[in-house]
Every structure is written in structure tokens, then in C-alpha cells.
Structure 1
Amino acid sequence: MKSVERQIIEAVSRIAQCDEWVNLRLGIGDDTAVYVPSIGEDLLLTTDQVVEGTHFEREIHPAHALGYKTIARAVSDIAAMGGNSLCCLLSLCLPDWTRPDWLRHYLRGLSVAIGRFNIPLVGGDVARGEKFNATLSAVGSVSQTAALTRHNAEPGDRLYVSGLLGGSALGLKILREGGSSRRVAVRRHLYPEPRLALGRFLRNEVSASAAIDLSDGLSSDVIKLALASSVAIEIDVRSIPCYRGCSVDEAIVGGEEYELLFTVPAKVKVPGAFDHVPLTKIGTIKTGSGVKLRTENGLITLQDRGFHHFESQ
């Protein structure tokens, strides 16, 4: 009789989608996977976690959405670098409450994201623990030395953001209040869309100078970009694109957007949208340090009010 662990591994293997991947010499079933890199590419390596009680509340977050989001969170990092997704590895820590039916729905969501973002699952690990934890390590690629980073914004560049901000936080609020999971804002929270094609467009066609994905909120991530590039940033609050029903403050603070915040030289023309996703100029890069908001009452310093894991410590 097969052990529970073996049954779980076989269930994961069935949704891996790596059988026809030409660069994969060996996938799930051995001590490691074997990947053959292409000539002239840099590899992008990232990892992300989905932790019970930190990233989701099991009373309101469906298993299918958690599986999808496990992949999407890490893929968004690859998108911010202007890369292509290649493969991923998944480590699962499963508590007693993860019954077979719940796990089946989780793996279905995982499978949907694997196919949608073309990122085969090539290995991982499974263990038992007190709380659910999914650690997803993703591998992407980009042409050598061509990766978009946070470090190259220059004074005079323009600051843009994709999409509308605040929708994910609104969706979480609706879920907590018992609202329908069919609401558009709720689906935006449960099933984020990493901007892979947009990232490549920014790198190849727009010559963006820097980029970061919005996972912790605009107020936090724009400060990270300013610090990494050693520049100051000025944002016009009237230009921030807000999701319907959200205030500017909610758009600034809300996290888990997975939109792209990026800079381009002033002479570069940026289209108003890419693949039906609006691209909005919201600010300017300047010399100095820090981030300021231009309001009707003048300039004020932006405070980091995004999500921080160790805020209370």
C-alpha cells in the first residue's frame, strides 16, 4: 500500500506539465531536476511563500485560489525583471486539516497557473507540520545583461504604473465581510495576473530603466525603488489610477496588486495601454532621496505603510 507521502508526490507529479519541455533533461522523480540552459541567457532565480495566517485565512480563501496564487506570486518577480518563466520547485508543509479534497482543489489551482504562465513544476518536497506553508522557487530567463532591475532609474526619468491600484485590498475586505467570491475585486485578490508580457515589452520595446512589482503596496515598493536607484521620486497623487470604489489612500497602501511600477527616460514615448492594461504616468525621478507626494496642499513625504512581516517585533 502506498504511503500518504507517496500519494501526494504522485498527485503533484500529475500536474507538473514538464514532459515535453526540451530544456528539461530530468524532472520529478530523482534527487534533482536537470535543466540545460540556453546559450546567451541569464537565469532569474526567485522564491516566495504562502503561509497560513500570514498570506491567507483558510476560512475565506479557497484552496483552488491558493494553488494559483502560489505560482503567481513568484512569477510576478520574473515579470518585473522582463523575463520568461522557465520552471519551478514547490515545497509543501501540510497540517492535519489539509484533507484530500482540499489538497485536490489546491493542486488544480496550481495546475491552472502552471499552464497559464508556462512554468512546469520540476521538483520539490513535502512534509507534515503545524501550519500550511507552500514555498515556491521559480526560475526564469532573460538575455544576458538585459534584466530589468530596481537600480537604474535616473533623474529626469518618468515613473509609470500598470493597471488600477487598490482592487486586491478591496477584494480582501469584501471576502472578510462575507461577500461573494464572484465579485470582480475579489477575483482580482484571489487570482492576480503577473504582467509577464508587459515586462518583456518594457525591456524590449520601451527601454525601461528600472522596474519593480507591487506586492507590498505602492507606498512600500516605490520607496524600495528609490533607495535601490539612489534617487528621489515625486508622485502626483491626482495621477494615481484607482480601482473603482477605492480612495487614493487605499490605492497607495493596498498590497498584493502584482502590477508593475517602472521608470523610462523622458524622451521615450509610452503607450496609454498594453494588451488592454492601462499604463499611467504618476511621477518623476529627481536627484536626492526619499519619495514625496504632490497634493493640492503642496509636497508631503510619503511614509512606508505597506505590509511588513516583522512590524510588531
Structure 2
Amino acid sequence: MSVTGIGEFGLIDRVTARLPQGASCLLGPGDDGAVLAAPDARVVASTDVLVEGRHFRRDWSAARDVGHRAAAANLADIAAMGATPTALLVALCMPADLDPTWAEELADGLGAEAATVGASVVGGDMSASPTLTIAVTALGDLGGRAPVVRSGARPGHVVALAGRSGYAAAGYTVLSRGFRTPKLLVEAYRRPEVPYAAGPHAARLGATAMIDVSDGLLADLGHVARASGVGIDVRRDAFEVPRQMRDAAQALGVDPYSWILAGGDDHALAATFPPAVALPDPWRVVGRVTEGTGVTVDGEAYDGPTGWDHFR
């Protein structure tokens, strides 16, 4: 069976039937647009795209895993603004011979990841395409708070991280070398574990700047440094290298800190805080904001790639 056999609208019916709607959705899929409650009177919006062969491979990840990853990449951006995610819109472009079961299981992953934060998939679009592509737009609610932007870091503030760093990049390297273990790393690549609640919590704690770490910790902190007109120094000893990562790095001839400092796709949240703020779990201090420009490691320029760039 292929999507050609059941047609666009038959596939839409099968997919939307698998997507329950959350409390913020007043009108879900089926009309020209969805209707959402917006108690804050402001809506945070972000979008991201996953292209087969560049962001995922079907021989590496099941459809449900890809759904989790696609949702997480967008929901994390909403959390990084200090907001609570409310809804996802998904556009799916696919080859005509795609098995519709794959699309259904993708929807299961999208819906399940959204449900972890009380959000839902409220609509989208489908089209034929030679390249399987998933475009997701996420919406969120600030709950009456000001958004936490990238430009608020000041010298003397601490830099803190919530979530894992380097796990997904290590998993990607393992898979690219033809291996399927360690499971901890491979599963981190397939399904990131995002600390969504830490974003709004950071806003309540007084975070001055925040960003989703999607392209690499040093690269993404570089965006904060540039927007804020400051320097940022990261401490290497702030990161523990788990045994599985250390063993994989030794077997593959890789410096594990290249994964931790420059690897993306874990979708940890990095934020800056005034030094007087007592940071609870899962936040941990990994560096400081300084006078100057750019990002350094232990006071020195980092000798190596700092993160992912789609056009390099």
C-alpha cells in the first residue's frame, strides 16, 4: 500500500484520527484553520524543518522516533523563550510511494511528544515531493511573563545549562560509523529528552537570556554573546563524560568534548542568570558572561568546529 492508493484526503483522515486535541485547542483539524485559546493575548511562534537524508534517515530511526524529534526541535524553541508550548502545525511532503503506515506512526510520535507538555497537533498540510520533508510550526503561551530573549546577558552573569549535551551528537557518530550501540547514545539521537519545564521555570527565576541548544553549545551561546554584546566563557570541567560516551569516543577516536561542546540535537536549554539567583535542578552552572566578544573555553579560543551550519 502507498499514499497514492488512499489519496491525500484519505491519509489526512487516517492521520488526524490519531491526534487527540488538548485543552487549548478550541477547534482542531478539519477546517481551513484551527482555533486556539490565547489567555496571554500574545503567541510565541517558531518553525523548523526536517529533510530526509540531512536531518534523519529512515534506516536509522523509526517513523515514531522521527515524529518525536520533529516535535522536540520546535517545542524546545518555545520553551527557550520562557513560554509553555500549546500547539503544533505540521506540513508533510512525501514521495507518492510512501507507505501510509509510516505517516501514521510519524503522527503518533508528533502527538506523543506534544502531549508531554500538554500541547497538541492542531493542523497542517500534505503534498507530494520526491524528498520526504517535515515542516513544523510550534505555538506557545507566555503566561503573562516577558519573553526571555537572547540579548539580555550581562558581564558577571552565570551561564547555566538544563538538559544533556553531546549525547545526540555521539549517537549520530555511532550510527554514521555503522554501529547501533551504546543504546544510551543512539536513543538520545533518535529521541531527545528535552527539559521543557525548565524554560518557563527559568523565566520565573529571572533568566536574562536563553536559547535552545540545537546546533551546538558553543555555536548557540555565540548567538547569545553576539545579541548581548558580551563574551561567554565555558568551563570544560562543568561537564561529566558518561561512561558510554567515554568508551564510544575511545573506540571511534573522537574527543568526547567535541560532542559535548559542539554537538547539537539534544535540545538542552542554555540561559544566563544574575549571580545571586540560586539555581535548582536541572540547571547547572557551566560558565560565565564576560566583557568582550565571542565564546571561549577555559579562557581560551576553542580549536575546532563549534557547531552545525547547514551551508558548510
Secondary structure of the residue that 2:45 maps to in structure 1? strand
Match of 1:56 in 2: 56
Secondary structure of the residue that 1:138 maps to in structure 2? strand
Among 290, 296, 313, which residue is 2:294 paired with?
A: 290
Q: CA-to-partner distance for each residue in 1:214-259, whole Å, 9 max, x for gaps? A: 1000121010110111111122222234444242222111111101
Q: CA-to-partner distance for each residue in 1:113-135, whole Å, 9 max, x for gaps? A: 23223221111110000100011
Contact 1:165–1:241, Cα closer than 8 Å, also in 2: no
Report the TM-score, using the length of structure 1 for normalisation. Answer: 0.88
Contact 2:18–2:104, Cα closer than 8 Å, also in 1: no
Contact 2:154–2:230, Cα closer than 8 Å, also in 1: yes
Secondary structure of the residue that 1:196 maps to in structure 2? coil
Secondary structure of the residue that 2:42 maps to in structure 1? strand
Secondary structure of the residue that 2:13 maps to in structure 1? helix
Among 264, 267, 276, which residue is 2:276 paired with?
A: 267
User: 1:238 and 1:24, CA in 2 relative to 1: closer, same or farther beyond 3 A?
Assistant: closer
Separation of aligned partners in 2, 1:259 and 1:190:
15
Match of 2:214 in 1: 215
Separation of aligned partners in 2, 1:158 and 1:182:
33
Separation of aligned partners in 2, 1:111 and 1:251:
29
Alpha-carbon deviation of 1:307? 0.8
Match of 2:36 in 1: 35
Q: CA-to-partner distance for each residue in 1:161-194, whole Å, 9 max, x for gaps? A: 1234211111122223443478111111111122
> Is 1:233 matched with 2:235?
no
User: 1:241 and 1:112, CA in 2 relative to 1: closer, same or farther beyond 3 A?
Assistant: same
Alpha-carbon deviation of 1:29? 1.0
Match of 1:300 in 2: 301
Contact 2:38–2:141, Cα closer than 8 Å, also in 1: no
Secondary structure of the residue that 1:143 maps to in structure 2? coil
Report the TM-score, using the length of structure 2 for normalisation. Answer: 0.88
Pairs within 5 Å for 1:176-187: 176-180=176-180, 183-187=183-187
Name stretches of at least 5 consecutive residues in structure 1 with no aligned partner. none
Contact 1:68–1:191, Cα closer than 8 Å, also in 2: yes
Q: CA-to-partner distance for each residue in 1:95-130, whole Å, 9 max, x for gaps? A: 145212322322222232232232211111100001
Identity of aligned residues (%): 29
Of stretches 67-76 and 100-109 in structure 1, the one that deviates more from structure 2 is 100-109
> Is 1:258 matched with 2:267?
yes
Residues paired across the two proteins, number? 298
Over the aligned positions, Cα root-mean-square deviation in angstroms equals 2.1
Among 249, 254, 264, which residue is 2:258 paired with?
A: 249
Separation of aligned partners in 1, 2:108 and 2:16:
12
Name stretches of at least 5 consecutive residues in structure 2 with no aligned partner. 247-255
Alpha-carbon deviation of 1:304? 5.3
Q: CA-to-partner distance for each residue in 1:50-80, whole Å, 9 max, x for gaps? A: 1111101222222110011111110010111
Separation of aligned partners in 1, 2:103 and 2:238:
43
Q: Which amino acid aligns with 1:300?
A: A
User: 1:143 and 1:114, CA in 2 relative to 1: closer, same or farther beyond 3 A?
Assistant: closer
